């Protein structure tokens, strides 16, 4: 990539990294690792590529960038193709402690993601040490979720690493396992809170506290782990845009049935096909596990009602004054079913 990929504050510049920046790469990584116990940077023994990092990534078809403020390198990021499934990896993502919270990390990572997408990446992955809690929160905020097993490194720091991933392009819907569901809790809580603030009838009323929203998704993650629930998440161009669930915990005499619950699309991503795609995927997933009857309920008059009818769902009944609306009035609830 030629030239800057973004700006954090007016005095910060993002430029292509050079081999001559080796001392800055080593300083940034060494300082970050030094914040954690028993995390040791042995450059010549374990990461000699830091001595010529730009050449290292160029040889693999990737690139590296640094953030520079007043002549001092204050952050870095790199990306490279993985050679399979059109996936690219984010690597060497570090910013100085004084820059954290300034938005610089988002600019660096966003620029690297955009570059990878421009090179045809369909999926973006990264590895992060299990000790780096702040990094986990940052990546999760960017829409990444835990994916796959923990990686054990044979290094002097006895490192264990989480793998994170997300789709890079277009509208993509995936079912999350328990680890991915837990790592998505913050993003899903934001989606739930935004929908409640927008007037959605989903058992909560505004303002919904972050603690309550996170608590709800923590319970859902537990249900996923127990096999009682299927959690679907939609990404739109790499951003988590919506979610839906299949409640699979049916009575003993109803093994053929599941309930669609909590179809949520962030207000910022509506009218772009996200809700429709989630419903189609929920129906497909239900068929795949042998469920032949789906049910759901929704507040009468909501946009969701029109969506369900357009998808062929059949109204089964109405209960007047079922739940209180945000303005204090009561709304009717509609019940739908769909045979698969």
DSSP-assigned states of every residue in 76-96 = EEEEEE-SSTTEEEEEEEEE-
- DSSP, collapsed to helix, strand or coil, labels residue 68 as strand
**Span 25-49, average pLDDT:** 97
pLDDT at 11: 66
pLDDT bracket for residue 2 (50, 70, 90): very low
Phi, psi of 66, deg, nearest 5: -130, 155
Closest CA to 17 of 51, 62, 65, 61: 65
**Span 290-300, average pLDDT:** 98
Phi-psi region of 103 (alpha: psi -120 to 50; beta: other; left: phi over 0): left
Residue 323 has pLDDT above 60, yes or no: yes
Q: What is the pLDDT of residues 213-267, one digit of tens each?
A: 999 999 999 999 999 999 999 999 999 999 999 999 999 999 999 999 999 999 9
DSSP state of 36: S
Give the strand pairing for 293-299 and 257-265.
parallel
pLDDT at 326: 84
Phi, psi of 336, deg, nearest 5: -125, 155
pLDDT bracket for residue 5 (50, 70, 90): low
Residue 79 has pLDDT above 70, yes or no: yes
Residue 7 has pLDDT above 50, yes or no: no
**Across the chain, what does the average pLDDT equal?**
95
Cβ atoms of 49 and 59 within 8 Å: the answer is no
> Which residues, in sequence order, are CB contacts of 20 under 8 Å at separation 6+?
none
DSSP state of 330: E
**Span 161-168, average pLDDT:** 98
**Span 295-303, average pLDDT:** 96
Residue 129 has pLDDT above 60, yes or no: yes
pLDDT at 96: 97
Residue 3 has pLDDT above 80, yes or no: no
pLDDT bracket for residue 12 (50, 70, 90): confident
pLDDT at 83: 82
Q: Give the pair of three-digit tokens for residue 127.
A: 């590895």
């Amino acid at each position: 990539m030629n030239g800057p990929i973004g700006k954090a504050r007016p005095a910060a510049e993002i430029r292509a990294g050079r081999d001559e920046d080796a001392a800055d790469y080593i300083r940034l990584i060494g300082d970050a690792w030094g914040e954690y116990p028993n995390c040791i940077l042995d450059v010549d023994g374990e990461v000699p590529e830091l001595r010529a990092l730009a050449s290292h990534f160029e040889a693999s078809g990737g690139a590296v960038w640094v953030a520079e403020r007043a002549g001092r390198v204050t952050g870095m990021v790199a990306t490279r193709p993985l050679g399979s499934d059109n996936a690219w990896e984010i690597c060497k993502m570090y910013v100085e402690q004084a820059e954290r919270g300034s938005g610089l990390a988002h600019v660096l990572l966003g620029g690297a993601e955009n570059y990878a997408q421009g090179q045809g990446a369909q999926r973006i992955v990264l590895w992060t040490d299990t000790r780096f809690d702040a990094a986990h929160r940052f990546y999760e905020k960017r829409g990444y979720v835990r994916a796959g097993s923990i990686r054990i490194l044979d290094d002097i720091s006895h490192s264990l690493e989480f793998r994170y991933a997300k789709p890079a392009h277009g509208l993509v819907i995936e079912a999350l396992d328990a680890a991915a569901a837990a790592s998505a809790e913050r993003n899903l809580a934001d989606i739930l809170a935004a929908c409640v603030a927008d007037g959605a009838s989903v058992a909560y009323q505004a303002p919904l506290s972050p603690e309550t929203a996170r608590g709800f998704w923590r319970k859902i993650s537990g249900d996923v782990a127990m096999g009682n629930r299927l959690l679907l998440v939609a990404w739109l161009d790499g951003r988590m845009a919506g979610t839906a669930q299949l409640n699979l915990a049916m009575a003993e005499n109803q093994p053929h049935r599941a309930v669609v619950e909590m179809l949520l699309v962030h207000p910022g991503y509506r009218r772009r096909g996200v809700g429709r795609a989630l419903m189609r995927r929920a129906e497909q997933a239900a068929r795949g596990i042998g469920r032949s009857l789906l049910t759901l309920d929704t507040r009468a008059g909501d946009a969701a009602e029109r969506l369900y009818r357009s998808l062929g769902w059949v109204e089964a009944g109405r209960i007047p004054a079922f739940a209180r609306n945000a303005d204090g009035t009561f709304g009717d609830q509609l019940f739908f079913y769909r045979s698969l």
